[in-house]
Amino acid sequence: MRSRFRSDRRLTVRMGLTLFLLGLLYVGFVAALIVLLKSWVLVAVLIGALFVAQFWFSDRIAMFAMRGRVVEREEYPGLHAVVDRLCAIADLPKPVVAVSELDMPNAFATGRSAEHAVVCVTTGLLRRLEPAELEGVLAHELSHVRHKDVAVITVASFLGVLAGLVVRFAFYSQAFGAGRRDQNTAAVFAAVLGVSVAVYAISFLLIRSLSRYRELAADRAAAQLTGRPSALAAALTKVSGEIARIPTKDLRTAQAFNAFYFTPATGREPGIERFFSTHPTLEQRLEQLSRISAELGEPATPGKAG
């Protein structure tokens, strides 16, 4: 294995640019809400409360939604051993280790910082992967923690969540109170709705673009850290194939958290919708890993870990 995760300057620049653009959008959105709603106190309180809830409790929300639970070393000694080894090599504080009782093979990392991170794998993943493949997946997830892109995605997605909530509120308000509103109030709600939709669309595209790049960056970092990109490629191929066999209707609950997954719960490779996907295509990821494998002079087929 290599020493530590390599820094990724291109990822850092992209994260900074995305946050800068979203910050400008955020300031404009808040200003528009204050002007339209004529109450900066209400806007500040609501936005502050939502931000705190998403940023500080994002890990708990994700764990609850995916039925994850913290597991101790006595229960999953092999899983803890792999995480311990990778963290020692990468010079990372050990995250909380969790397992989700889902048959869908996948993994995710969440948390606002390296000191408050959670790495969670599903029982479906543990059951299907060889040790070397599992190591590659865990290295991928730990790289998200090291690069701090989990926290960046959490912060960046807040604006989209806020705009989406405003859109829903505006729709419900119009539906249930249209008969009691005058023309001026209706115009204000229409303006709020229009601004919110525009903000949601722009933030959606910015976050998706960053998300696709961060997955490629995590693949690179994991492959370089473990020195076995073909093991990670094998895990990607296996997990994507298994998810593709799961009916789409059974994946819908999990799809809300696609941005955090090792492989998206889409059930198929995207077509035109790849431009709106949280992940690059499987072909892109495998091509990159093949190039890294050639650079490292790795054998085509990884040996099985004991």
Annotated catalytic residues are 141
116 is in an annotated binding site: no
Residue 187: its H or E element? helix 183-226
Report which of 144, 165, 184, 139 is spatially closest to residue 49, judged by C-alpha positions.
165
75 is in an annotated binding site: no
Phi-psi category of residue 122: left, alpha or beta, with phi > 0 → left and psi -120 to 50 → alpha: beta
Report which of 38, 139, 158 is spatially closest to residue 90, judged by C-alpha positions.
139
Q: How far apart are CA 165 and CA 186, in angstroms?
A: 18
Q: Cα dist. 173→31, 103, 184 in Å?
A: 21, 40, 14
140 is in an annotated binding site: yes
Q: How far apart are CA 174 and CA 117, in angstroms?
A: 41
Amino acid letter, 44: A
Give the annotated binding-site residues for Zn(2+).
140, 144, 215
